[in-house]
């Protein structure tokens, strides 16, 4: 086959599937969605049985080999742009990158260059790969940490479904004002847009179910600030920032979700001398690799600005020993 296609995805029919239709086997064994199956049917060499084109209603026998071939695509609407990338992992199916704070994931109106997508598309062009940019999830511009990108439609579909089923683990580290009480808990509070400002999210009974689990890792000074580990069960826009504000522990550096609290003014001023963004880092990402079926766990250490902040927070006056 030509390099017009990504590497084929194959499946050898077992005795339990003998006599079943092609589409039944592909849906059950490879989890191929009906949307992708329809797309493959329109591709010249998209779907083959023992090397020849086949209808999805055809019956298979034990030992038959099914193969899927997806046509290569590229992001013609994304300008390749050289930039430093901290690539944590890459194979022919997916890429994980540790995003710097301040970088937007995907081009938007007014931000056509300087995004993570521009840098990754350039990286692939330099490698001679024809790949379309398909992020599995996104991070806010100011949030640093791990972002996963699929390199073909099947991988994107599989990882997106893992995300929807809650099978992708996403762990974050945040530095917040005050001390969460209790020190570890689950925040189950629905979130939706603020009707007065669609860019701003709020906790509201009429919102979408939103669940965040947190654990306090360290408390600084006289409970002036804390370091918190968080795991997302749902993935609403600004979820961590909204939930931590909701329990009275807004993120340090968060200009949107930080209420004006008088006794936090000194710490806020001190933090602003060290950081220029909200203190949130996507530290760990785990999922099942769609091809190898292995459990993958990736970690990204705290970036320099948050390590410096943590060093300074440790200097805060410690509470008296009881």
Tokens 């039944």 correspond to 24
Residue spans in the chain of domains classed CATH 3.10.290.10? 9-68
**Interacting residues of 201 by C-beta distance below 8 A, sequence separation 6+:** 191, 192, 193, 194, 236, 237, 238, 239, 242
Mode of pairing for the β-strands spanning 144-150 and 280-288:
parallel
Residue spans in the chain of domains classed CATH 3.30.2350.10? 87-165, 169-286+296-313
pLDDT value at residue 287: 97
pLDDT value at residue 260: 61
Q: What is d(CA 17, CA 299) in angstroms, rounded to the nearest whole number?
A: 39
What sign does the CA torsion over 18, 21, 26, 31 have?
Answer: negative
pLDDT value at residue 43: 87
pLDDT value at residue 185: 98
With CA atoms as reference, report the closest residue to 10 among 1, 149, 286, 150: 1
With CA atoms as reference, report the closest residue to 7 among 239, 249, 202, 291: 291
pLDDT value at residue 272: 75
pLDDT value at residue 6: 84
Mutual angle of helices 22-29 and 34-41, in 10-degree steps: 130
Total-model pTM: 0.88
* Structure tokens that stand for 317 in this block: 């006056």
* Structure tokens that stand for 131 in this block: 């790949």
**CATH top class, domain 87-165:** alpha beta
With CA atoms as reference, report the closest residue to 16 among 63, 68, 55, 53: 63
Q: Which residues of 280-312 are buried (b: 16+ CB within 10 A; e: fewer)?
A: bbbbbbebeebbeeeeeeeebebbebbeebbee
pLDDT value at residue 123: 97
9-68 falls under which CATH superfamily? RNA-binding S4 domain (3.10.290.10)
pLDDT value at residue 283: 98
- Provide the CATH topology of domain 169-286+296-313: Pseudouridine synthase (3.30.2350)
At 309, is the secondary structure helix, strand, or coil? helix
pLDDT value at residue 269: 74
Inter-residue contact 228 to 174 (CB < 8 Å): yes
* Structure tokens that stand for 288 in this block: 């099942």
Task: Tell me which of 3, 17, 76, 140 is the catalytic residue.
Answer: 140
Which residues in the chain land under pLDDT 50?
1-2, 320, 322
Active site residue 188: no
| Omega cis (within 30) before 104 | no
Beta bridge partners of 208: 191
pLDDT value at residue 238: 95
Kindly state the helix (H) or strand (E) to which residue 149 belongs, with its residue range. strand 144-150
pLDDT value at residue 320: 47
């Amino acid at each position: 086959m030509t390099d017009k296609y990504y590497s084929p995805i194959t499946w050898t029919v077992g005795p339990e599937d003998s006599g079943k239709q092609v589409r039944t086997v592909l849906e059950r064994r490879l989890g191929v969605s009906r949307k992708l199956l329809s797309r493959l049917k329109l591709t010249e060499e998209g779907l083959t049985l023992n090397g020849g084109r086949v209808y999805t209603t055809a019956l298979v026998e034990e030992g038959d080999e099914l193969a899927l071939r997806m046509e290569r695509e590229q992001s013609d609407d994304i300008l390749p742009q050289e930039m430093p990338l901290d690539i944590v992992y890459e194979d022919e199916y997916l890429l994980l990158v540790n995003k710097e704070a301040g970088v937007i994931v995907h081009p938007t109106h007014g931000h056509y260059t300087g995004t993570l997508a521009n840098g990754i598309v350039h990286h692939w062009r330099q490698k001679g790969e024809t790949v379309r940019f398909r992020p599995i999830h996104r991070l806010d511009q100011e949030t640093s940490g791990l972002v996963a990108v699929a390199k073909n439609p099947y991988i994107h579909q599989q990882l997106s479904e893992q995300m929807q089923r809650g099978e992708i683990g996403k762990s974050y580290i945040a530095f917040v004002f005050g001390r969460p009480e209790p020190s570890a808990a689950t925040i189950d509070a629905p979130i939706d847009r603020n009707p007065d400002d669609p860019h701003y999210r709020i906790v509201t009974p009429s919102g979408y179910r939103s669940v965040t689990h947190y654990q306090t890792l360290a408390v600084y000074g006289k409970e002036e600030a804390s370091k918190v580990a968080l795991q997302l069960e749902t993935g609403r826009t600004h979820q961590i920032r909204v939930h931590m504000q909701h329990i009275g522990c807004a993120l340090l550096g968060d200009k949107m979700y930080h209420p004006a609290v008088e006794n936090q003014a000194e710490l806020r001023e001190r933090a602003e001398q060290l950081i220029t963004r909200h203190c949130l880092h996507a530290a760990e990402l785990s999922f099942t690799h769609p091809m190898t079926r292995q459990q993958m766990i990736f970690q990204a250490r705290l970036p320099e600005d948050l390590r410096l902040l943590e060093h300074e927070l440790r200097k805060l006056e410690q509470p008296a020993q009881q």
